[in-house]
Structure 1
Amino acid sequence: MGSIPQVSVLRGPTHPLPRVRYLSRLLEDKVRECGNSTAIIYKGSDSVVHKLSYGELDLATNRLARALLARLAPLDGDVVVAVSLPPSEALLLTLLAVWKAGAAYLPLDQQAPQRVHHILEEAKPALIITEEAEDQLDEVLQCHNVVSFSTLDTIATKMAATILSDSEVLPATAQPLAVVLYTSGSTGVPKGVRLPHAVVLNRLRWQWREFPFSPTEQVCVFKTTLTFVDAIGEIWGPLLHSSPISLLVVPREITKDPQRLIPLLEEYKVERLLVVPTLLRAILLFLGLDSSQQLASLKTWVCSGEPLVVSLAEQFLAHFRRRDVALCNFYGSTEVMGDVTYHVIRSREDLAAFDKVPIGRPLDNTTIYLLDKQLVPVPVGEVGELYVAGLNVCAGYVNNRDPHKFIPNPHTVDPDMARLYHTGDYGRLEKGTVLYEGRTDSQVKVRGHRVDLAEVDAALNKLPQVDKTAVLCYRPGEVDQMIIAYITLHPNVYISGEEIEVALQSYLAVYAIPQVLVIDSIPLLNNGKVDRQTLLKRYAEKAGNSTQPAAVDLDTSGVSDVKAAQCLLKTVAAVLGGAARGTVALSANFYHLGGNSLNSVLTVSKLRDQGYIIGITDFISAQTLKDIVGKMVPEDNVKEVETIIRNHKEKPFVSEILSSVHKSDAYRIITDSFYAKGDLEQCIEPRIPRCEYAELLDQIWEPLVRAQLSFVLRSRMTGQIVSVALGFDVHEEPPVQLSGRLNIVFEFLEFVEAPIRDEKLPQGKGKVLHGFMMGTEQTLSAAENVAAVQAMEEEVLAIGRTRGFTGIFTTNTSPLTKQLSADVFNYRVMSEYQVNKYVAPDGSKPFSRASDSLRVACCWKEI
């Protein structure tokens, strides 16, 4: 009997949760045991240290909760109170009072007024508590129910200080909310994550069990911005635990400054600290410069928010050589209460077995699934999309946005595991622990290849000259898409971005090498994470949307036709624009400068407009721009132009009419091309499963073979099939019945093609050849891809002429095929349609995620 294959599913320990409706009840219980112990420590603007005991905290918040209830109208369901206060004892009093009143708190960051405006319009908080007086409000807060903390505190002095009974607080729902946090949405519009008390409790109880407070631990710190999920554990982990731990409130200006933060941690003998890797690196750098401050008390370091790279973990271990110091790598997101897996590093042995720092094993009452597109667990060792089930999963988004992110769990009947949250991350299970394999949305397409930005970042971190990195994709999916990497260098290191790019060739495929930009420092957000939007804006200004020409070296020595060389250099500089990766010179390679399939065709077209003819194959196969000059011919030199055209037809491919022997290659290439590269298909969420392309091909395969209008191209050099072109007589296409999401694409194509086909093209069989689908092998380089697409276009024209068709009809979505059709083969555009404006028969807009630049063109060419 065969063995049962191991699949990528990990379940954390099971620990039943106590029935606690409101977390504030835990503090009320704690007061009975340690009411005189210090709860909050805060140094105000007057530099005076303020302290508040647990008993004082409880009494003050009971009064404040009653003051809140007096300002709130009777409401059903979850009541949300927005809070816009700086880190202080007033903030903590407010948060606890909100809970005691039976409401959930919603942090606001008024430094982003447009974001706040969206949040208030969507979440509709019943009340907003601010630092400012009611008559000094920002414009964004006006017209809302707003009260200042000082006003609320004045009202509270007249209120009773006894514990509120269940009958006094707001009516409870089945799973009352504790916190609403807004996180960045995939569309750029923030989404409100709804976190119930039970979810927060599950995370806290795991923390207390796995990382218990030591007998010597007296003070913890609250330094994380309140709008980020990690602040929940920082605040409530100490305050709600039964131990008499004090919470030190760290002002924002100190959090970002290691020179001020480290002495504060030493002063209070802090034993645990939560940091993003960027801040950890800064702290280690400072500790290396000042041997007098070594944070001897700090034993538990938690990294969260960004991937922890091996080099930083090793730097940490090299500095802290004690076995009682642990570096913990936490993984999660706001939707799962911050963390769902963790890995503890105490020595190099905890890293040695892996090529990256693991994200570890699941927390209590949590299950991790690594699934394929059909939601089937992948075998151990394979990469799958990471899903989470269990008591750490939030209650969805405000207004039920993006419900597809939370789906029924088909793998269990356990009610605690009934819902799956789709993280949007990739993971891999190895040696019983999970390794992070990047974001699904960080996997971008470059020349048809999938590139993981996390892999690019890891390669940069292997270079000894590189200190910090930020890898981004500029305008993903657009014509001017570019992978860019901003880096800082170690002190006293001098190396150019171009030299770093050369070094990366040892680690990355050519198509994955980013444009490297060396800067002095990488901008950070308030929470210590990289400010990616600022960097993208900086690059956009540099690239100038390609309106500014690139730097040009007009040295034409060594070429006989100086005029042609200057024309080429200026044209390439104009096409690549500010995004060019280096100086445009005759010694440069077009693709190393940032050229791709599309702009290579555009360059050939622009050269033709200026009176120079060169075959596309000659252009893309040239090693340098100087080689291109030698193949450019003035169009008035008729004989040489005819030679170019004749040589251009001697393709490196052999065409074979489609037959049953090509079936497996045709299915694979078409499926891979449209699943990984289809411009329409990439806009649909959830994505179209691969199996639906096989369903389509099963229905049309026999008619395709009978029609004898389809073909494959085989490489003369390797003998391998590299591309497939499928065609029909437009008036003899077989009916197709699709049950899945691919039907959305076919409904759209029928919508744009039918008016042209039925009203503007010749009628009757044998008149119109329809270029139905084209696909190329994913392993082709940019140059090979252009050559294959051009060869297929030419073969379609040849078949059309041989079979006596009047013309060719095709619908192009790819920028490359549109460019070839218009500029090389002289197709006429019959209609053009902006994809994201399409409304499906059911009233939905399935391509709403598409950029405004994605347009389909219905084209016609008489032959």
Structure 2
Amino acid sequence: MKIDAASTTAVISFQAVENEVGTVTRISVANLRATVVKLASTLRERLLPLLQQRRVDLASEIEQSRIFLATYITTGINRVFLQLACMRLRLAYIPMDSNLSEQRMTSIVKYFSPIAFITDNDDVKPELGLVPLFAFTQLLNQAEASCSRNVEPLFVGMTNPVILLLFTSGSTSPIPKAILLRNGQLANRLCWQWSSTSPLAGITGPRLAKTSWLFIDAFTEMFGPLLDCQTVVVSGTSTITSERLVSDVDFLGRLVNRFQIAQINSVPSQLEAWMKLLDNGSKAFRSLRAIVSSGQILTFTLATRVFEVFEHRPLRLLNLYGSTEVAGDITALAFDSREEVQSAAVESPLGGLVLPVGKPILNVEIYVVSGICEEGPTDVVDRGEEGEVLASGAAILLEEPIMADRSPRLNISLMANSLSTRPCFSRVLRTGDVGFVCPTNGYLYITGRIDDMVKVNGVKICVGNIDQLLTRLRCEDGLFASLGTTLTITLEKGETGTRLVCFYQRETSGDNAFTNADLAKVVRTHFSAFLNVTFVEVPSFPIQKQSGKINKVRLRRDFLNGLYDQVTRPADNVMKANSSKADSRREAIRRVFAKHLGLSEAAGANGEPSDEKDFFLIGGDSITVAIIVPELRKQGFRVSLNDFAMKKKVGEILDTLVSQRHFNQGEPPLAPQKRLFVREYQPGKTFFGQPFHDAYCREVIAEVIAESFVRYEPLAQMINLSAKTMHQIVFGRLKQFETMPGLVYVAGFTYGDPDGPLEALLPDVCAATLGYPASTPPAPGVEDPLYHHVEKAFEVCDTEAGQLEDASKCFSSGLLGTRHDSIDGGERIQLLTLLEKALIDGVRKSGYTAIRSVNTSVVTQVMGEELGYVHNCTVNLASILEAHGVKCDRKSLIGRVATLKIGAQK
């Protein structure tokens, strides 16, 4: 198909003004090509020397599959430019965004050693080590100033290069898997979409790219239309995130209406949320011609609801099935009406209706088999019979997924294909799903997961069917209307047999009370009288941070440790009697949120943050939560980090926290008593081989010290030392301590075990200190020149204090800080004193004979005197710094230099 590249719009980039669509920029196909070529040329120029330094063979397929560009891009239009540039260069990239913590990004960088890290967000700076950091804006400006009209790939002669690396995580494993997606897989998926037989053929009009690019659907959503010369609508600003586009259905409706969007993609859970918020016949979405559902199983109820809400025709609902390992989708089925949905549905063993996922796409074969042996799959089952679902063809992986912790995989995904004689179908992929092919229509139906198939007391069952049954009963608004999320797992698998445990939450809004006996009875009635299931009510489910899925490993462990033994449901009359108390508690928690989210007192008084806002999109993060949790515990709330991981909306979090099971209603003697802990942290040793814990620990220490210095340290306030600089100082010191002498201690109060693992205590850390030999050079990686002036000022202080007998044996007390909002003054002094004592003891054990400190705080000065520090001299730090050209907001800041001789202390 020939097009006019100069007049055909490839991308529409929009910005928002006061919740409305504002500035709109249209980029033609010709301009897009020109920008991409220039950017690719600029990127090639910057990266080629780095590849040469690593001695990378640019003609090697293997080398190409091991070299990655790490990317953190927040703006939709920038993602278009960068991804196309990488593809031009045959350079594989790792997409990242705000859904990943800096600790997670640091771990990715450590494991995969990318050639560079590119970002368009100046605030995102994970620990990169030797990996260079490029600012995307600078690269783009440099590219636009160039005259490049063509660009050679970095890697030449590649027949099937890796395009990108994505992470996926199974719900039964806390370890993410890295998937290498190659050109052949992605091209096969896109070619199917562009074919004349595709369910999307003939649908024209703009498409909206809104999915987080951490997911494979974002690639097909973007490049399915774009590489077919169809217009794609993207965000032109970092303020309109993927999360905003999927959660704000009103804004989404305005976008669809404004640009007459023809197709949107969604996972069923998000689609269901939209259906609940939209009225039947919603006019804002009348331009839609296709809704693509993928990533999860589309239910019969949701599919019929789509055609009720969107009454206009034509409208096609496309049900896709697949996973990241198969480049997104391997089967498809289209519905054009509610009647087609009803005719395709079949009765499930549970009595409900299940929808098919269709037939294989281009160059893909699907098999349903009875079993697997070492040589590969065994026999294909008869149509209508349930079995394990396998896939083969151009869509599947060429290599096994990479475990992010480099551990060996216990289960093999790929194996030889004995079921096909065609060369391109030589291997099969185990999808992990259970299903059957209907004998009447030939469609594939997915009914569960293979790892959930068990035999209990002679009864063979897929444990996911129990959860499906309970979900259907909940929707019937009967006895189980107040039943919330359920998850059934297996325990004690082996010679002793299998025990099924169903964990569930109870919705507080339900009026009907049910018991565990009621749940057990309904399961036995629908399945078998020999099927015994243990039902356990839980206040919340533990959640995997990266995938958002329930952490089954943690759930099993907590259950076996008796964590859920005491969970009981309060009587309804007690809940009603305490409703006014719950309201007051709710607003008290909201005020704590407002304070730590940096909202003004006026905003807090006006009920901010409001219930509908996403806690993690208005400034909340793991560190904010770690600060809030101890404060709420102090007020009597039995709160944990998991309460924030389970919910994201402010109102949902508040609902969880004010529930009776989360509030400490008893008298003080019955409440858990918080206990003090002081622990040493050794960078590079304490969490060796545990990068997630190590990165989190460093972040906690940096946050505590930065907050303390910036808000309360007179020296930092006098010269306006920023929190960013303090973070860099702390991270620099911790990095030094991996190879140089240094001591780090953390302290706090916990309701848990003060002698337990340090990682379990990190949310309760309220104070930290760093000490190092006086001869230690300045911390590396600090950009602010103010820091180096401060170091010079401390050298002057040391000179004024006089020489020691052996300067090489002198330690500096360095950095000491505490949180102020989560502990009171007495507790703060207690922690500071204990930390200083721990430091003194550590210095003594390390063979040093003296500690010298410069104090500008009255508290630390008094504390030093009590611990035996001897006053050496008094200096005016303001005068010293101004002599070095530093602007100070006061004329005088007295610093007292004191020394403690370790050898003289008894």
Alignment match of 1:102 (pick from 50, 67, 90):
90
Contact kept in structure 1, 2:537 and 2:568, CA below 8 Å? no
Give the C-alpha shift of residue 422 in structure 1: 1.2
Contact kept in structure 2, 1:453 and 1:471, CA below 8 Å? no
Partner in structure 1 of residue 134 of structure 2: 147
Alignment match of 1:41 (pick from 8, 13, 17):
13
TM score, norm. by length of structure 2 = 0.51
Q: How far apart in 2 are the matches of 1:273 and 1:514?
A: 42
Alignment match of 1:227 (pick from 203, 214, 222):
214
Give the C-alpha shift of residue 415 in structure 1: 2.0
Partner in structure 2 of residue 384 of structure 1: 387
1:405 aligned partner, one-letter code: S
Q: How far apart in 1 are the matches of 2:550 and 2:3?
A: 44
Partner in structure 1 of residue 358 of structure 2: 360
Partner in structure 1 of residue 155 of structure 2: 170
Question: Does 1:239 pair with 2:242?
Answer: no
Contact kept in structure 2, 1:105 and 1:179, CA below 8 Å? yes
Q: Which has the higher contact order (CA 8 A, sep 6+)?
A: 1
2:117 aligned partner, one-letter code: I
Alignment match of 1:200 (pick from 163, 177, 186):
186
Contact kept in structure 2, 1:239 and 1:246, CA below 8 Å? no
Alignment match of 2:174 (pick from 176, 188, 197):
188
Give the C-alpha shift of residue 549 in structure 1: 4.8
Give the C-alpha shift of residue 540 in structure 1: 6.9
Partner in structure 2 of residue 424 of structure 1: 432
Give the C-alpha shift of residue 462 in structure 1: 2.4
1:130 aligned partner, one-letter code: T
Q: How far apart in 1 are the matches of 2:542 and 2:256?
A: 25
Give the C-alpha shift of residue 487 in structure 1: 5.9
Q: How far apart in 2 are the matches of 1:351 and 1:516?
A: 35
Structure 1 residues 285-324: aligned runs within 5 Å: 285-288=276-279, 293=283, 295-321=285-311, 324=314
Q: Bigger CA drift: 121-130 or 243-252?
A: 243-252
Q: How far apart in 2 are the matches of 1:159 and 1:317?
A: 51
Compared with structure 1, are the counterparts of its residues 514 and 428 closer, same or farther at alpha carbon in structure 2 (3 Å cutoff)?
A: farther
Alignment match of 1:121 (pick from 105, 110, 130):
110
Question: Does 1:484 pair with 2:476?
Answer: no
Alignment match of 2:535 (pick from 515, 526, 529):
515
Q: How many residues align?
A: 517
Contact kept in structure 1, 2:357 and 2:446, CA below 8 Å? yes
Give the C-alpha shift of residue 82 in structure 1: 1.6
1:324 aligned partner, one-letter code: P
Question: Does 1:57 pair with 2:32?
Answer: yes
Contact kept in structure 1, 2:204 and 2:230, CA below 8 Å? no
Q: How far apart in 1 are the matches of 2:282 and 2:432?
A: 44
Contact kept in structure 1, 2:281 and 2:312, CA below 8 Å? no
Contact kept in structure 2, 1:221 and 1:248, CA below 8 Å? no
Contact kept in structure 1, 2:524 and 2:532, CA below 8 Å? no
Alignment match of 2:246 (pick from 246, 250, 255):
255
Alignment match of 2:274 (pick from 283, 288, 293):
283
Q: How far apart in 1 are the matches of 2:562 and 2:484?
A: 24
Q: How far apart in 2 are the matches of 1:104 and 1:119?
A: 14
Partner in structure 2 of residue 329 of structure 1: 319
Q: Bigger CA drift: 312-321 or 243-252?
A: 243-252
Give the C-alpha shift of residue 335 in structure 1: 0.8
Give the match's secondary structure for 2:149: coil
Partner in structure 1 of residue 77 of structure 2: 89
Compared with structure 1, are the counterparts of its residues 468 and 67 closer, same or farther at alpha carbon in structure 2 (3 Å cutoff)?
A: farther
Q: How far apart in 2 are the matches of 1:461 and 1:413?
A: 43
2:119 aligned partner, one-letter code: T
Partner in structure 1 of residue 659 of structure 2: none
Q: How far apart in 2 are the matches of 1:55 and 1:349?
A: 42
Give the C-alpha shift of residue 31 in structure 1: 7.5
Give the C-alpha shift of residue 257 in structure 1: 2.4
Question: Does 1:452 pair with 2:462?
Answer: yes
Partner in structure 1 of residue 42 of structure 2: 67
Compared with structure 1, are the counterparts of its residues 509 and 309 closer, same or farther at alpha carbon in structure 2 (3 Å cutoff)?
A: farther
2:444 aligned partner, one-letter code: V
Q: Percent identity?
A: 23
Give the match's secondary structure for 2:372: coil
Q: How far apart in 1 are the matches of 2:111 and 2:118?
A: 17
2:26 aligned partner, one-letter code: K
Q: How far apart in 1 are the matches of 2:532 and 2:259?
A: 47
Over residues 292-321 of structure 1, what are the superposed CA-to-partner deviations in whole Å (9 max), with x where a residue is unaligned?
545222232222111122222233344345
Partner in structure 1 of residue 412 of structure 2: 404
Over residues 101-123 of structure 1, what are the superposed CA-to-partner deviations in whole Å (9 max), with x where a residue is unaligned?
22122112463345434433333
2:526 aligned partner, one-letter code: Y
Contact kept in structure 1, 2:194 and 2:201, CA below 8 Å? no
Give the match's secondary structure for 1:545: coil
Q: How far apart in 1 are the matches of 2:274 and 2:383?
A: 37
Q: How far apart in 1 are the matches of 2:368 and 2:130?
A: 47
Compared with structure 1, are the counterparts of its residues 31 and 342 closer, same or farther at alpha carbon in structure 2 (3 Å cutoff)?
A: same
TM score, norm. by length of structure 1 = 0.54
Give the match's secondary structure for 1:238: helix
Contact kept in structure 2, 1:119 and 1:190, CA below 8 Å? no
1:206 aligned partner, one-letter code: W
Q: How far apart in 1 are the matches of 2:131 and 2:76?
A: 24
Give the C-alpha shift of residue 198 in structure 1: 2.0
Compared with structure 1, are the counterparts of its residues 149 and 373 closer, same or farther at alpha carbon in structure 2 (3 Å cutoff)?
A: same
1:379 aligned partner, one-letter code: D
Q: How far apart in 1 are the matches of 2:504 and 2:254?
A: 31
Over residues 401-451 of structure 1, what are the superposed CA-to-partner deviations in whole Å (9 max), with x where a residue is unaligned?
759311221222322212211111112111311110211123356567554
Give the match's secondary structure for 1:270: coil
Over residues 111-162 of structure 1, what are the superposed CA-to-partner deviations in whole Å (9 max), with x where a residue is unaligned?
33454344333333222212344xx653433432321212322432443331
The gaps in structure 2 that reach 5 residues or longer are 58-62, 348-353, 571-906
Give the C-alpha shift of residue 37 in structure 1: 1.8
Give the C-alpha shift of residue 392 in structure 1: 1.1
Q: How far apart in 2 are the matches of 1:274 and 1:50?
A: 23
Give the C-alpha shift of residue 326 in structure 1: 2.4
Partner in structure 1 of residue 443 of structure 2: 433
Partner in structure 2 of residue 160 of structure 1: 147
Contact kept in structure 2, 1:309 and 1:458, CA below 8 Å? no
2:90 aligned partner, one-letter code: G
Q: How far apart in 1 are the matches of 2:2 and 2:506?
A: 48
Contact kept in structure 1, 2:177 and 2:401, CA below 8 Å? yes
1:424 aligned partner, one-letter code: G
Compared with structure 1, are the counterparts of its residues 339 and 493 closer, same or farther at alpha carbon in structure 2 (3 Å cutoff)?
A: farther
1:360 aligned partner, one-letter code: G
Partner in structure 1 of residue 747 of structure 2: none
Q: How far apart in 2 are the matches of 1:444 and 1:257?
A: 41
Give the match's secondary structure for 1:338: coil
1:453 aligned partner, one-letter code: V
Partner in structure 2 of residue 415 of structure 1: 423
Contact kept in structure 1, 2:326 and 2:396, CA below 8 Å? yes
Compared with structure 1, are the counterparts of its residues 538 and 173 closer, same or farther at alpha carbon in structure 2 (3 Å cutoff)?
A: same
Contact kept in structure 2, 1:368 and 1:388, CA below 8 Å? yes
Compared with structure 1, are the counterparts of its residues 254 and 332 closer, same or farther at alpha carbon in structure 2 (3 Å cutoff)?
A: same
Give the C-alpha shift of residue 277 in structure 1: 1.4
Compared with structure 1, are the counterparts of its residues 221 and 500 closer, same or farther at alpha carbon in structure 2 (3 Å cutoff)?
A: farther
1:531 aligned partner, one-letter code: K
Compared with structure 1, are the counterparts of its residues 493 and 324 closer, same or farther at alpha carbon in structure 2 (3 Å cutoff)?
A: farther
Give the match's secondary structure for 1:377: coil
Q: How far apart in 2 are the matches of 1:254 and 1:525?
A: 23
Partner in structure 2 of residue 442 of structure 1: 452
Q: How far apart in 2 are the matches of 1:329 and 1:318?
A: 17
